[in-house]
């Protein structure tokens, strides 16, 4: 699907939340009109141009809004970046297809100032209408000098890591590998096992445990662990790897619905994406001191002796007994284990 210059109008999104809505949205099928989505496909969306209004929370997804679906995300939203009115922008992002349907690209963004020029009408159950100072009657125009979509079809059964927007070659994918029960708790050890082959060289591999629950009160993305490095971190294309990573849970899940304890794989490569042909990919809560654990895995004593809160430049602020004592915000902590190891981590609550 080739590049084309065109104008896309993002109209006021009356379904946006919280109310009153300050979101704008455009649904466009021009670049995917001949595409039939298949689970596992990766769509790379490239757009460049200008907008006539500022846009924050600018993002794109692939959806099916045809009956009887009316709204099914075929590839979930990915962030593009902020846009300043009249200033050229250029974005490229990968969308991971997880469902089939009738595809349209959705561009979605926020402009609270623009929305305040309209009026939104509410009708209550008694039929009485009221109005609020935000709403329709306005739109955002994207004048695109480049607009294209390319489709990548991975090797059957491959686990695909796509660009995470960091701009440093980091690729990422999220997987539900832990059952809903038991729910992880602070100080639990989650053992992640990866065996297989990569199609490209990898210079860094990390595992992270996150909460992506839709009902999470604090955020859709909450980091429950630190970014934990694999050992070895380097993987050579075509060479079989066998890696076990023990991840320490630092924060209990904040949501209760599905996706409250997901495994995130992050890796760096100079290639556009990573395909892992995995023969094993598991995650389980383990007791590293339990002699019943597999004997071929190196067991580390992860018992915590003390936790110290430090400043960004290393000044000791306080000693705590548990991560749960920390309030909301960004914290730097130093953990001393009973085996003498000392680890410094950044915690976001």
Instruction: Give yes or no for a contact between 91 and 81, defined as CB atoms under 8 angstroms apart.
Output: yes
pTM higher than the cut 0.95: no
Q: Rounded to an integer, what distance in angstroms lies between the CA atom of residue 262 and that of residue 176?
A: 5
Q: What is the pLDDT of residues 328-338, one digit of tens each?
A: 667 777 777 66
8 Å CB contact between 192 and 245 = yes
Measured between alpha carbons, how far is 197 from 140 in angstroms, rounded to an integer?
45
Give exposure, 276-311, as e/b (b: 16+ Cβ within 10 Å).
bebeebebebbebeeeeeeeeeeeeebebeebbbee
Give the integer Cα–Cα distance in Å for 281 and 259: 17
Whether the Cβ atoms of residue 24 and residue 111 lie closer than 8 Å to each other: yes
Query: In the chain, where does DSSP find H-type helix?
Result: 112-115
pLDDT single digits (tens) 86-140: 999 999 899 989 899 999 999 999 887 876 555 555 545 455 544 444 455 578 9
- Cβ distance 190 to 205 under 8 Å? no
Q: What are the per-10-residue average pLDDT scores of the chain (349 residues)?
A: 72 70 88 92 93 93 89 90 94 90 94 65 50 60 94 87 82 84 86 92 92 69 89 89 92 81 92 90 80 38 66 75 68 70 65
Q: List, in order of start, the domains of the chain with CATH numbers.
A: 6-152 (2.60.120), 159-286 (2.60.120), 304-348 (no CATH)
- Asked whether the CA dihedral 173, 177, 183, 187 is positive or negative, the reply is negative
Task: For residue 30, give the nearest of 66, 70, 2, 55 by alpha carbon.
Answer: 2
């Amino acid at each position: 699907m080739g590049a084309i210059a065109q104008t896309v109008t993002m109209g006021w999104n009356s379904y946006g939340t919280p109310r009153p809505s300050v979101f704008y949205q455009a649904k466009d099928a021009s670049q995917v009109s001949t595409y039939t989505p298949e689970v596992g496909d990766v769509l790379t969306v490239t757009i460049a141009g200008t907008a006539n209004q500022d846009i924050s929370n600018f993002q794109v997804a692939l959806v099916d809004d045809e009956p009887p679906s009316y709204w099914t995300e075929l590839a979930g939203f990915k962030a593009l970046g902020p846009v300043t009115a009249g200033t050229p922008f250029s974005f490229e992002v990968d969308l991971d297809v997880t469902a089939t349907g009738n595809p349209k690209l959705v561009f979605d963004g926020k402009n609270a100032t623009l929305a305040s020029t309209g009026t939104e009408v509410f009708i209550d159950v008694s039929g009485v209408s009221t109005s609020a100072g935000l709403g329709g009657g306005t739109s955002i125009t994207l004048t695109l000098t480049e607009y294209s979509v390319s489709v990548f079809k991975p090797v059957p059964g491959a686990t695909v890591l796509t660009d995470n927007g960091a701009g440093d070659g980091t690729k990422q994918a999220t997987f539900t590998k832990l059952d809903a029960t038991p729910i992880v708790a602070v100080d639990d050890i989650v053992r992640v096992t990866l065996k297989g082959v990569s199609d490209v060289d990898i210079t860094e591999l990390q595992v992270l445990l996150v909460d992506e629950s839709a009902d999470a009160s604090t955020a859709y993305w909450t980091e429950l662990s630190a970014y934990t490095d694999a050992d070895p971190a380097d993987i050579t294309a075509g060479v079989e790897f066998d890696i076990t990573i023990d991840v320490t849970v630092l924060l209990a899940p904040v949501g209760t619905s599905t996706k409250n304890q997901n495994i995130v794989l992050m890796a760096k490569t100079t290639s556009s994406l990573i395909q892992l042909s995995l023969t094993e990919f598991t995650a389980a809560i383990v007791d590293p001191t339990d002699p019943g654990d597999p004997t071929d895995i190196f067991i580390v004593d992860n018992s915590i002796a003390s936790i110290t809160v430090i400043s960004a430049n290393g000044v000791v602020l306080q000693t705590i007994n548990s991560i749960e004592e920390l309030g909301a915000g960004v914290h730097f902590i130093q953990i001393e284990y009973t085996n003498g190891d000392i680890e410094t981590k950044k915690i976001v609550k």
